[in-house]
């Protein structure tokens, strides 16, 4: 019986090859991968004499990693298997059915392929509705792990809760180099996989170098398998990734372990990097010729040949296979080089979901068209609903959606038994069970990355970040989630909802719990951003997001959650508000005031208490991404004056974007400079005296309006 400790299997030499492996395919895919590297490297080396359009600008070889990777790929046979991979993972994709032409066309930046020329060609993906999926890769080392863990958790959800038998025995594998084991993403995913006993495999291909840095810098002693020996629930294997016999047996062992539902596994295979880190790297200064020569002796390809010939195939068979590979690669190369360049006009498509046109991809990720249609939604608020505070409104909306949509999951730190530190999810776990409403480990990267993997697997994850500031550790996952649809030319999307409370508290602030800083999300491409000022808008916007196709940040203002300031009548179980439609909360014709979140309420107070009726045309934007340019510009063209009031700090706050737009588009209509009121450029302070010194109040807003009217 295997133990959970790192086991070094003795290199077993048997006359026959390991049973249960498709050795012909392994040999073919390894040879193809090797030849692709040859073609690209040779072309780039001879750059003076080849046409510019044949060069690969970002070239990464996988030589040395290739054989073990294609073995792994050959074991990913189930239709709901998935892989989170990285830039050296092309051999894996080849073994999963990536066409050689696509493999070559993408690095050349040609149309089609992984991204239609939008992303580096080794940042790959394999979109499939009915076969192993390779999740969209990212350039950030370590970012592949938590989405892969999210897919693994989705497997358990589909299997155990939705009783979908197609997920039985499936697994999610994350591939990474030994450098990646030092990243937050690795540890976050490892925590998730082991605490939740997920069907996940960590595949560490250890070449001893992270660009130039030795593995000893990434984990003490340079052996992650050894160091994790005491980790609970983790089945570990450690071996030589250049030995076909040993590598195939160990891979079969770890895959079988995970498929049998025995929990996660980690395999570390040592491999040589028989190339520079990437095209531009010449290895000078960090690798001696002797070291390079030593590594060359560990090339797995001759070992594979030696292993298979004659035990599995004859010398002539091998030669025939090489000839076949050469033919196939050359044909594919001609096809790839012959492909058109991407079309400039298409570059703006797919930042957000779009109405489908002929030829568009059938996106992997998010709810299906029919599921979204069935959920529907109504723009009309029902009459006579109960008065609700914002927290209750969010809770009720989550409850309705959990009832209506079995694929919706709610999770975050403390959201389960406790009901969240703001009690927004109170009672939901009791009602829906811990498989649908659950606590997570304390890793925001894990919360968001997991949501991404789940969304790609077709679920609707609604993640809570405890406070706005604590989204900081998830920045990489948030950014990559937002750009996923664009990066993959609409082949993948991860529509998730991330709820986060922020902003000043009722009578208190501080730099950690009171951050607003919404402008960062306005700048994050591909995200929708909702900043509701009241309970009814919260219901409509949150439901829109949960029944939508785009990732959404949903901001819950701390000062409104539990107070009556943002209370409103419940607008109904189907109420939706479209994004990008501002609410004109007061009508006037002398000045336009634009605000959102809690500041919108302060503006209403300023108008109602201090200013004559009919003076201020007041807009609560409701959503910042997208924002209602049309309504604001139309109003300013009528009033000739504009004041923007927000809680985020002044410099480069979102008010600057609005001011620039108004100055450009409504310049000839303006009777006064466009003005902004915001928190000064200091962190949010704790004591109310300090807080009120930086936070615009209704009196100051009214005074600024009056001053502008006098201008
Ligand atoms: C978050 C992040 N930091 C730094 C880099 C730059 N970088 C690219 S590859 C790499 C080394 C990775 O080494 P390893 O994980 O061992 O993989 P290998 O390239 O050896 O296969 C670094 C530092 C990056 N892409 N992402």
The tens digit of pLDDT for each residue in 299-345 reads 999 999 999 999 999 999 999 999 999 999 999 999 999 999 999 99
Could you identify the atom of ligand 1 that is nearest to the CA of residue 209? Answer: 20
State the average pLDDT over residues 559-579: 96
Choosing from 87, 119, 139, 210 the residue with most ligand 1 atoms within 8 A of its CB, the one to mutate for a pocket test is 210
User: In this structure, are residues 536 and 567 in contact, taking their beta carbons and an 8 Å threshold?
Assistant: no
For position 189, what pLDDT does the model report?
98
Q: Does residue 297 surpass a pLDDT of 70? A: yes
Residues carrying CATH 3.40.50.970, the chain: 7-337, 369-569
| Closest C-alpha to 448, from 489, 413, 486 | 413
Residue 139 Cβ < 6 Å to ligand 1: yes
pLDDT in tens, 601-648: 999 999 999 999 999 999 999 999 999 999 999 999 999 999 999 999
Tell me the residue ranges of DSSP E strands in 426-548: 437-439, 460-464, 497-502, 528-530
Every domain range in the chain assigned CATH 3.40.50.920: 583-710
* Other residues' Cβ atoms within 10 Å of the Cβ of residue 651: 10
The predicted pLDDT at position 507 comes to 81
How far is 669 from 674, CA to CA, in rounded Å? 11
Q: Are 103 and 112 in contact (CB under 8 A)?
A: no
Q: How far is CA 91 from the centre of its chain?
A: 23
Measured on CA atoms in the order 645, 650, 654, 658, is the torsion positive or negative? positive
Does pLDDT of 262 surpass 60?
yes
Q: Whose CA is nearest to atom 11 of ligand 1?
A: 210
**Beta strands of 383-467 (E only): which ranges?**
387-388, 408-412, 437-439, 460-464
Q: Is 218 in the pocket of ligand 1 (CB under 6 A)?
A: no
Domain 7-337 in CATH 3.20.20.140:
no
Please give the distance, rounded to the nearest whole angstrom, from the Cα atom of residue 210 to the centre of ligand 1: 6
Mean pLDDT of 161-177: 98
Beta bridge partners of residue 497, listed in sequence order: 462, 552
In this structure, CATH architecture of domain 583-710: 3-Layer(aba) Sandwich (3.40)
* CB 208 less than 6 A from any atom of ligand 1: no
Q: Is the CB of 91 under 6 A from ligand 1?
A: no
Contact status, residue 127 vs residue 488, Cβ threshold 8 Å? yes
Grade residue 465 by pLDDT with cuts at 50, 70 and 90.
very high
Across-strand partners of 501? 556
Residue 264 Cα to ligand 1 midpoint, Å, equals 24
Distance 324 CA to ligand 1 centre (A): 34
Does the CB atom of residue 140 touch ligand 1 within 6 A? yes
Residue 270 has pLDDT above 70, yes or no: yes
Query: Does domain 369-569 match CATH 3.40.50.970?
Result: yes
Q: For residues 52 and 108, is the Cβ–Cβ distance under 8 A?
A: no
Q: Is residue 161 within 8 Å of 435, Cβ to Cβ?
A: yes
Closest by alpha carbon to 93, among 119, 127, 139, 118?
127
Cβ of 488 less than 6 Å from ligand 1: no
> Is 513 a catalytic site residue?
yes
- Do you know the residue count of the chain? 711
Q: Which of 137, 141, 183, 272 to mutate to test the pocket of ligand 1 (most atoms within 8 A of CB)?
A: 141
Q: For the residues 179-193, what does the mean pLDDT come to?
A: 98
Q: Which residues pair with 561 in a beta bridge?
A: none
Q: Are strands 387-388 and 568-569 parallel, antiparallel or unpaired?
A: antiparallel
Tokens matching residue 586: 């007061």
Measured between alpha carbons, how far is 396 from 391 in angstroms, rounded to an integer? 9
Please state whether the peptide bond connecting residue 310 to the residue before it is cis, i.e. omega within 30 degrees of 0.
yes
Share of the chain above pLDDT 90, in %: 94
Contact 200, 103 (CB under 8 A): no
Q: What is the mean pLDDT of the chain?
A: 95
* Closest atom of ligand 1 relative to the 139 alpha carbon: 25
- Of the residues 513, 557, 610, 646, which is catalytic? 513
Burial of residue 321, with CB atoms counted within 10 A of its CB: 0-12 exposed, 13-18 middle, 19 or more buried: middle
Read out DSSP for 264-290?
A: -EEEEEE----S-SSTT---TTT--HH
Q: Whose CA is nearest to atom 13 of ligand 1?
A: 210
pLDDT at 10 over 80: no
Q: Which one of 179, 206, 278, 473 would you pick to mutate in the ligand 1 pocket, going by the greatest count of ligand atoms within 8 A of its CB?
A: 179
Nearest to 140 by CA among 163, 157, 160, 119: 119
């Amino acid at each position: 019986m295997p133990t959970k400790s790192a086991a070094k299997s003795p290199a077993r030499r048997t006359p026959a090859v390991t049973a249960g492996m498709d050795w012909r395919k392994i040999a073919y895919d390894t040879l193809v991968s090797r030849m692709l590297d040859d073609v690209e490297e040779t072309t780039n080396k001879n750059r003076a004499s080849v046409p510019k359009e044949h060069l690969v600008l970002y070239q990464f070889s996988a030589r040395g990693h290739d054989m073990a990777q294609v073995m792994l790929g050959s074991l990913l046979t189930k239709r709901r298997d998935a892989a989170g991979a990285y830039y050296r993972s092309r051999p894996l994709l080849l073994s999963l059915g990536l066409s050689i032409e696509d493999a070559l066309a993408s690095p050349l930046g040609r149309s089609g392929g992984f991204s239609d020329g939008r992303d580096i060609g080794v940042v790959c993906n394999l979109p499939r509705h009915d076969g192993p999926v390779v999740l969209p890769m990212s350039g950030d080392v370590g970012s592949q792990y938590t989405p892969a863990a999210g897919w693994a958790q989705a497997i358990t959800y589909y299997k155990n809760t939705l009783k979908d038998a197609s997920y039985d025995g499936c697994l999610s594998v994350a591939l990474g180099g030994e450098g990646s084991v030092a990243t937050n993403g690795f540890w976050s995913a490892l925590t998730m996989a082991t605490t939740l006993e997920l069907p996940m495999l960590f595949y560490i291909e250890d070449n001893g170098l992270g660009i130039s840095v030795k593995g000893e810098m990434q984990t003490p002693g340079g052996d992650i398998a050894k160091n994790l020996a005491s980790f609970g629930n983790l089945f570990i294997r450690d071996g030589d990734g250049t030995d076909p016999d040993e590598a195939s047996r160990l891979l079969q062992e770890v895959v079988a372990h995970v498929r049998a539902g025995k929990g996660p596994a980690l395999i570390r295979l040592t491999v040589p990097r028989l190339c520079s880190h990437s095209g531009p790297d010449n290895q000078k200064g960090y690798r001696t010729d002797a070291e390079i020569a030593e590594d060359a002796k560990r090339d797995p390809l001759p070992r594979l040949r030696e292993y298979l010939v004659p035990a599995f195939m004859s010398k002539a068979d091998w030669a025939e296979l090489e000839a076949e590979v050469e033919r196939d690669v050359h044909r594919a190369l001609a096809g790839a080089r012959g492909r058109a360049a991407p079309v400039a006009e298409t570059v703006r498509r797919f930042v957000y979901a779009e109405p489908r046109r002929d030829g568009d991809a059938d996106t992997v990720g998010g709810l299906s068209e029919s599921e979204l249609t069935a959920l529907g939604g109504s723009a009309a608020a029902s009459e006579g609903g109960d008065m609700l505070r914002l927290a209750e409104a969010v809770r009720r909306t989550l409850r309705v959606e959990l009832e209506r949509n079995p694929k919706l999951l709610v999770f975050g730190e403390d959201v389960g038994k406790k009901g969240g530190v703001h009690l927004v999810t109170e009672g939901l776990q009791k009602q829906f069970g811990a498989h649908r409403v659950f606590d997570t480990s304390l890793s925001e990267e894990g919360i968001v990355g997991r949501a991404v993997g789940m969304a790609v697997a077709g679920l609707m994850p609604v993640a809570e970040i405890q406070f706005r500031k604590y989204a900081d550790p998830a920045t990489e996952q948030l950014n990559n989630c937002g750009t996923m649809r664009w990066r993959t030319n609409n082949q993948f999307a991860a529509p998730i909802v991330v709820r986060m409370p922020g902003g000043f508290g009722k009578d208190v602030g501080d730099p950690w719990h009171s951050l607003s800083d919404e402008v960062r999300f306005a700048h994050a491409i591909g995200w929708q951003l909702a900043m509701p000022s009241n309970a009814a808008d919260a219901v409509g916007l949150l439901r829109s997001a949960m029944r939508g196709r785009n990732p959404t940040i949903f901001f819950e203002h701390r000062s409104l959650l539990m107070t009556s300031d943002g209370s409103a009548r419940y607008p109904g179980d189907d109420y939706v508000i479209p994004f990008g439609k501002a609410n004109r909360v007061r009508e006037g014709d002398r000045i336009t005031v634009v605000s959102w979140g809690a500041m919108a309420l302060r503006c209403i107070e300023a108008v109602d208490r201090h200013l004559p009726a009919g003076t201020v045309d007041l807009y609560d934007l409701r959503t910042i991404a997208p924002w209602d340019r049309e309504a604001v510009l139309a109003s300013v063209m009528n009033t000739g004056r504009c004041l923007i009031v927000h809680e985020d700090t002044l410099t480069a706050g979102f008010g600057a974007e609005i001011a620039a737009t108004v100055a450009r588009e409504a310049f000839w209509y303006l009777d006064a400079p466009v003005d902004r009121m915001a928190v000064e450029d200091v962190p949010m302070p704790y004591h109310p005296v300090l807080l009120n010194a930086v936070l615009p109040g209704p009196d100051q807003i009214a005074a600024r309006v009056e001053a502008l009217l006098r201008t």
